[in-house]
């Protein structure tokens, strides 16, 4: 799918790293050619944005399924696919297949499994998987318990210049827990683990990353204690980054009441104090990425007792709208919102996208930031509607989308 003729979007408000400014953008042969105060040329395709935001297409780092209808609804043009597949992405052939699975209108960037079978013991063939298209390496939903294995992984990844995406929960403490220890878990009688399980995992992995000189990204950091560790590591120059999903800044463990399995997540929902700490960490830059954690689960996985239900939520369609709540609440500016959902993930994956600048790939979205709508699990574009935000009124919708300067059907 190649761009047949130049595209010019006029009358919009460009979301640039420096802020939002009125202007136009011109895309040629799949890349941004120029932006600002410019005039269309003969033969250009012209689109009038009518005052909408012109933003980079979202890059969703850490999804568990390739779900194009949901991604396109949410304005996602690229997705970093977690290795938790059946079978896992622990072989070059599996990585190569996954990298082609969304084209031409969605680019999937596979994250190679850190260990064979994601079992946490034997390192997988990372170099061969990088050659096959892997953009990072990930431990999956599991924490690598053996510190020697984790150190070797970080050393190997550093040599290959691949970021390691780690799951931050000490498995020895979490065990079969499905909730965070506290009043709500006690009232519901749910197996629970202390929030400190996350801080212990983060502390160890940061120490090992310092030893190895490796880049480390925690896919989700959701507790006050763990965020303090990340903040301190950044202050002393450790190349560590952190992500979170909207569930952990929008919801606390109060959402578990009535045993709502759509709120059964990994890591589990935390206390209100931790939720407030996540919001503060987004505001002060401790958290670098907001991703959807998109993991559509049907009735066979969710219509079960809470303890037996599979973790995960369908988050791609609500990613942008939930992130924009932080803008309306004054936590971050609009340009910072798109840094979190586009530019920062692009840097971690090493792709030339995620921001509006000359030379970058023309993955673009028109966004009506004030368009109201109501999340409805029964009407979602995702392959399953297991959202913890069902029936919630939100604002912000993508109204048009381009991948490499070519319009994406919605």
- Tell me what pLDDT residue 271 has: 98
- Tell me what pLDDT residue 216 has: 98
- Tell me what pLDDT residue 410 has: 58
Among candidate residues 193, 198, 156, 201, the one with its CA nearest the CA of residue 177: 193
Looking at every residue in the chain, the average pLDDT score rounds to 96
7 bridge partner residues: 27, 45
Neighbours of 113 (CB within 10 A): 30
* Across 142-158, average pLDDT: 97
The CA-atom distances, in angstroms, between 44 and each of 7, 26, 115 are: 6, 9, 49
Residue-range domain boundaries for the chain: 61-352+372-391
pLDDT tens-digit map of 304-341: 999 999 999 999 999 999 999 999 999 999 999 999 99
Q: How confident is the model at residue 40 (pLDDT cuts 50, 70, 90)?
A: confident
Work out the percent of the chain whose per-residue pLDDT is above 70. Answer: 100
Q: With 90 as the cut, is the pLDDT of residue 173 above it?
A: yes
Cα–Cα dist 39/368, whole Å: 24
Q: With 80 as the cut, is the pLDDT of residue 7 above it?
A: yes
- Tell me what pLDDT residue 3 has: 84
* Across 395-410, average pLDDT: 93
**CATH architecture label of 61-352+372-391:** Alpha-Beta Barrel (3.20)
- Could you give phi then psi for residue 352, rounded to 5 degrees? -90, 70
Cα–Cα dist 226/249, whole Å: 15
Indicate the pairing of strand 107-113 with strand 76-81.
parallel
Cα–Cα dist 212/32, whole Å: 37
Cα–Cα dist 152/5, whole Å: 49
pLDDT tens-digit map of 238-289: 999 999 999 999 999 999 999 999 999 999 999 999 999 999 999 999 999 9
Q: With 90 as the cut, is the pLDDT of residue 2 above it?
A: no
């Amino acid at each position: 799918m190649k761009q047949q003729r130049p595209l010019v979007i006029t009358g919009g408000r460009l979301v640039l790293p420096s802020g939002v400014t009125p202007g136009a953008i011109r895309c040629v042969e799949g890349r941004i050619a120029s932006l600002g105060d410019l005039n269309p040329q003969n033969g250009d395709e012209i689109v009038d944005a009518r005052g909408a935001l012109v933003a980079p297409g979202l890059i969703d780092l850490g999804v568990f399924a390739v779900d194009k209808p949901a991604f396109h609804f949410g304005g996602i043009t690229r997705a970093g696919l977690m290795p938790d597949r059946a079978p896992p992405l622990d072989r070059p052939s599996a990585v190569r297949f996954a990298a082609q699975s969304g084209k031409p209108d969605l680019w999937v960037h596979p994250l190679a499994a850190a260990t064979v079978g994601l079992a946490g013991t034997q390192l997988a063939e990372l170099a061969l998987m990088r050659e096959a298209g892997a953009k990072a390496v990930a431990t999956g939903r599991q924490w690598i318990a053996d510190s020697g294995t984790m150190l070797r992984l970080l050393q190997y990844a550093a040599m290959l210049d691949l970021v390691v995406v780690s799951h931050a929960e000490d498995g020895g403490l979490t065990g079969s827990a499905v909730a965070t220890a506290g009043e709500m878990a006690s009232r519901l009688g749910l197996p629970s683990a202390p929030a400190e399980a996350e801080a212990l995992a983060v502390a160890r992995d940061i120490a090992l990353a310092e030893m190895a000189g490796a880049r480390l990204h925690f896919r989700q950091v959701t507790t006050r204690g763990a965020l303090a560790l990340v903040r301190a590591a950044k202050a002393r120059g450790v190349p560590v980054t952190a992500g979170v999903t909207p569930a952990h800044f929008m919801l606390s463990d109060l959402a578990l009441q009535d045993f709502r399995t759509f709120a059964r997540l990994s890591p589990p929902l935390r206390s209100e104090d931790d939720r407030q700490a996540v919001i503060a960490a987004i505001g002060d830059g401790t958290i670098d990425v907001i991703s959807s954690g998109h993991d559509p689960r049907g009735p066979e996985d969710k219509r079960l007792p809470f303890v037996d239900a599979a973790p995960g939520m369908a988050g791609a369609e609500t990613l942008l709208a939930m992130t924009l709540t932080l803008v309306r609440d004054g936590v971050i500016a609009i340009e910072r919102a798109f840094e979190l959902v586009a530019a920062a993930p692009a840097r971690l994956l090493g792709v030339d996208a995620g921001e509006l600048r000359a030379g970058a790939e023309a993955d673009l979205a028109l966004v009506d930031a004030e368009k109201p709508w109501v999340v409805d699990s029964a009407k979602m574009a995702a392959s399953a509607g297991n959202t913890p935000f069902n029936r919630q009124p939100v604002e912000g919708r993508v109204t048009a989308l381009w991948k490499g300067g070519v319009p994406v059907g919605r």
